[in-house]
Amino acid sequence: MHEPDETLVAQTEKRIHIACATDDNFAPYAATMLLSALQKHPGQIAVHYLCPPEFSEINKTKISGMVKEYSSNILFHPIPDADVASLPPMRGIYRTVWYRVFLPDLLPETNRVLYLDADTFVAGSLDEIWQTDLEGKPLAAVANIIDPQFQSEQQQRCELPADAIYFNSGVLLMDLDLMRREGTMEQVLSYTRAHGERFIWGDQDALNAVLATNYLQLHPKFNSQCSLFFWSASHALYSSDVVREAMLEPQILHFEGGAGDHVRPWHYMCDHPFRHEYRKILRQTPWHRIELKDRNLKNMLRKYLPLPVYKFLRALKNRVY
């Protein structure tokens, strides 16, 4: 494993430790997530960036410069390919999804860390979640919002008890000390190597298989998933007041990909209600010139023409004479 700079570790002992994991392709969006946190907590953030060995030096320089502008620290932790070679990929996604399971060993001098997926966005203060009492649990997380018809499938896939609530791994407050003492991540890796062939959501399935009955459930405002905004059936998990708070006053937004590109704010067709806030921060990163994905004539017509007119034009184009 990569050995961290002990001087920097000492400087960050009293800061909010944030970890994320990406390859070069997702660097602009990880930077947006980090900047959203840095702007709300200048001088208070310690970033742990987990990346593949070939992660671009140019991207490291860009991200480091941005972090230092806010009087914060960053450490890059390259993860050897050999460490993840035996772990199953998630639907073709790069194995960076597994990097978070190495955090207890990667950060031996750190007591706790807030792991944030690169497709999250800090919309409010992190103080409340960072100061959460874990009540003797190894981690805290928010329930994963999923179609009820898949609940039994999830239970079977991860061998969960009937009363277990499957959580989303995009936002994790982790007690690294406790995980080291209990060998939590060794259990996760061991279970994965034995049963990983049936996983659909990679590390998330593995973490749930080991911890679904041993984690602190958080308010959904700390992982306000797209399903809350686009799928009314998801509201069955929570009271109307809880849903309203998670939607109107989210602390951490999660633009998870399972709901489709229309919820990802770096896509042109996104209609998420917080897309403008996200894009404002994206334009302040070193990737401020990046184009929104799928911004083309076809999608511009889809977006701005009334639906009947768009359908008529499509039919006219496809008409066979």
Q: List the one residue out of 48, 62, 73, 116 whose CA is nearest residue 254.
A: 116
pLDDT of residue 276: 96
Contact status, residue 251 vs residue 222, Cβ threshold 8 Å = yes
Instruction: Report the C-alpha gap between 185 and 232 in whole angstroms.
Output: 35
Range of the domain at 40: 6-290
Q: List the one residue out of 300, 298, 270 whose CA is nearest residue 282.
A: 270
Rounded to the nearest integer, the mean pLDDT of the chain is 87
Residue 223 falls within a domain, yes or no?
Answer: yes
Residue 305 falls within a domain, yes or no?
Answer: no
Q: What is the CATH number of the domain that holds 42?
A: 3.90.550.10
Instruction: Report the C-alpha gap between 176 and 174 in whole angstroms.
Output: 6
Residue 311 falls within a domain, yes or no?
Answer: no
Residue 243 falls within a domain, yes or no?
Answer: yes
| Residue 216, burial from CB neighbour count under 10 angstroms (0-12, 13-18, 19+) | middle
Alpha carbon separation from 217 to 115, 169, 230 (Å, rounded): 15, 12, 22
Question: Please, which residues have CB within 8 angstroms of residue 297's CB and are 6 or more apart in sequence?
Answer: none
Instruction: Report the C-alpha gap between 207 and 185 in whole angstroms.
Output: 9
pLDDT of residue 202: 85
Residue 185 falls within a domain, yes or no?
Answer: yes
Alpha carbon separation from 279 to 88, 218, 264, 265 (Å, rounded): 33, 27, 10, 7
Alpha carbon separation from 247 to 219, 272, 276 (Å, rounded): 12, 11, 15
Contact status, residue 251 vs residue 123, Cβ threshold 8 Å = yes
What is the reported pTM? Answer: 0.88
Residue 26 falls within a domain, yes or no?
Answer: yes
In this structure, which amino acid lies at residue 284?
Q
pLDDT along the chain (321 residues), means of 10: 46 81 96 98 97 97 98 97 84 79 96 97 98 97 77 76 88 98 95 82 90 95 91 78 94 81 87 95 97 83 59 48 37
- Which tokens is 29 given? 């969006």
pLDDT tens sequence across 240-299? 899 999 999 999 999 987 555 678 999 998 989 999 999 999 999 999 999 998 888 877
pLDDT of residue 159: 84
Residue 304 falls within a domain, yes or no?
Answer: no
In this structure, which amino acid lies at residue 48?
H
Contact status, residue 274 vs residue 123, Cβ threshold 8 Å = yes
Alpha carbon separation from 301 to 137, 295, 304, 307 (Å, rounded): 51, 10, 5, 9
Helices 27-40 and 57-69 meet at what angle, rounded to 10?
10
Residue 69 falls within a domain, yes or no?
Answer: yes
Number of domains in the chain: 1
